[in-house]
Structure 1
């Protein structure tokens, strides 16, 4: 009897321990993963191509079983009805906004758009199309993200300088409200180093800008090289939170990638990420997509993965290397 009780207790301890682990990838597929945490829930989204979708969960490692809802589908035959890429969900000025890139089936017509929802829960209530979010040049634009610094809203995106593809750069502009760019765009980054210029088709790429704040620093993490190559990787710009963020000279570019493929761990083309805190707010995590095999390209084989990262003594993030799929890792601290 005593032995049986001991075995039962040991089994309970084991099951509890295993319940606090997870493995990558956290979904079988999903490019451009984004998440936001509010009121005890993580709201996750990724590129679905045809519509906007939100997953709601208290644990991002449990996305496979999370509530999933299509929150908006564009009307057919519009300039924003096809090729819906890289949606991002933000809570700004007391309302929810989801930004996305879309076109009419022709890539040259990709622009940024936004929908709005005043509900407390973005999976409830009604989403309203607010329109295009663009600067006066009205050039090709994808991968929009919005952040606030010292009361000022900014939008970042990847765009073309002119009317023809050839180079994607990272631009910034001020916003007067969550759906309106109010000033001129400023180019912050273009492909410069060899590791940013892998494409094989003559297209140079900086895209997927994301903001990471730490103490008095602002880090702009972006994706470089063609997503169709194994060399897709993350780069970084740094600026002081007290600097003029509209001045390109306020930003310093790291000469080397901060997160790139790891053939030893069978992870290729890691990129287009977002960040989040653990439920207890004590840990920092990166959420990114990657491929499991070389040559998988930037189609449906990309899947979201997540791992904890730390900070160096100089205040810069240390993302480490992409970890191998299928290896058990501890869940974010505070997960239940």
Structure 2
């Protein structure tokens, strides 16, 4: 009888315990303050990023390979929420029908221009630079007019073109081969009379892969981008083959008052100014762009990188960004590539 009562009492207690709700679990305590911050990447499958700012919006482009798309956003840290607008698709055949690479969007004299590299049906040796023009205030709207090939001096292999407006003059820089037979890539420059017409009769070679850190895989200087600060013009470029983890950023600098078409006006940094990689999800850092926040107080570096070693030149490259400062001599201080898990304060105004 005692055993029976003991079993009955145990069953009652078990039923009462089962009727009680489970206590609400305590959320884990985190020491990371994420308010007003973001994490990279901004976009996946987005190599060769380019960004420009106008009238309250950032406009972003990157290599897709088969068309030209523009992202429009008021907040760079929320770029992933922006829907791209396809503004141009290539013809099925012809000199600009395939391998659409490294597009850049520039606003010049009241019009928008897109510069892009393309080739003839996948024949890489035919890569040349091409130009589109749009009179609309918003480059995601209006009509893009094909201005054709930008006829650079010597008509050689050319990719990664970019534009500089300085001292009332337009300059164009790009990466090219010495011949159309391949080999090392060099940085060239020429003067334009307008955004789609070349004035120079010869291309000026500003930089070649001279140092060991520019020759991983093979000798490469590509992706030139201009950065003007105070009385200096900086040309930041990507070095070494993008198929290696050792892709990195190099730097040329010149006085704003100098003859920019004279190679002697430029001084080259003997070491990389960013990269070659930082580990922690930042391999093969390079092909950069820049922007300044609307209040003019913050400078930001935009670049692509792979999340893991050995991912090469494909669509694993994603867009990242991080702020940078200036050294005492007026040159940019890009620091190290931010780990992919790091929380970064959003740009001013966001």
TM-score, scaled to structure 1: 0.92
In the alignment, structure 2 segments of 5+ residues that lack a partner are 1-32
> Partners in 2 of 1:96 and 1:20 — Cα distance?
32
In the alignment, structure 1 segments of 5+ residues that lack a partner are 1-16
Q: Give the alignment partner of residue 212 of structure 1, picking from 217, 222, 227.
A: 227
Contact 1:269 1:291 in 2 (8 A): yes
* Aligned residue number for residue 286 of structure 1: 301
Contact 1:279 1:332 in 2 (8 A): no
Is residue 333 from structure 1 mapped to residue 348 from structure 2 by the alignment? yes
Is residue 168 from structure 1 mapped to residue 178 from structure 2 by the alignment? no
Is residue 131 from structure 1 mapped to residue 148 from structure 2 by the alignment? yes
Residues 39 and 196 (structure 1), Cα distance of their counterparts in 2 relative to 1, 3 Å cut: same
Which structure has the bigger radius of gyration?
2
Matches within 5 A, 1:22-61: 22-61=38-77
How far does residue 134 in structure 1 lie from its aligned partner after superposition?
2.5
SS for the counterpart of 1:170 is strand
> Partners in 2 of 1:263 and 1:214 — Cα distance?
26
Q: Give the alignment partner of residue 131 of structure 2, picking from 114, 125, 128.
A: 114
| Aligned residue-pair number | 317
Cα deviation, 1:238-291, whole Å, max 9, x if unaligned, reads 000000000000000000000013344331110000000123221000000001
* Aligned residue number for residue 210 of structure 2: 192
> Partners in 2 of 1:127 and 1:231 — Cα distance?
37
SS for the counterpart of 1:137 is helix
Q: Give the alignment partner of residue 222 of structure 1, picking from 224, 229, 237.
A: 237
Contact 1:43 1:54 in 2 (8 A): yes
How far does residue 27 in structure 1 lie from its aligned partner after superposition?
0.8
Contact 2:249 2:276 in 1 (8 A): no
Matches within 5 A, 1:1-336: 18-104=34-120, 105-183=122-200, 184-199=202-217, 203-335=218-350
> Partners in 2 of 1:162 and 1:57 — Cα distance?
40
The runs of at least 4 aligned residues of structure 1 exceeding 2 Å deviation read 261-266
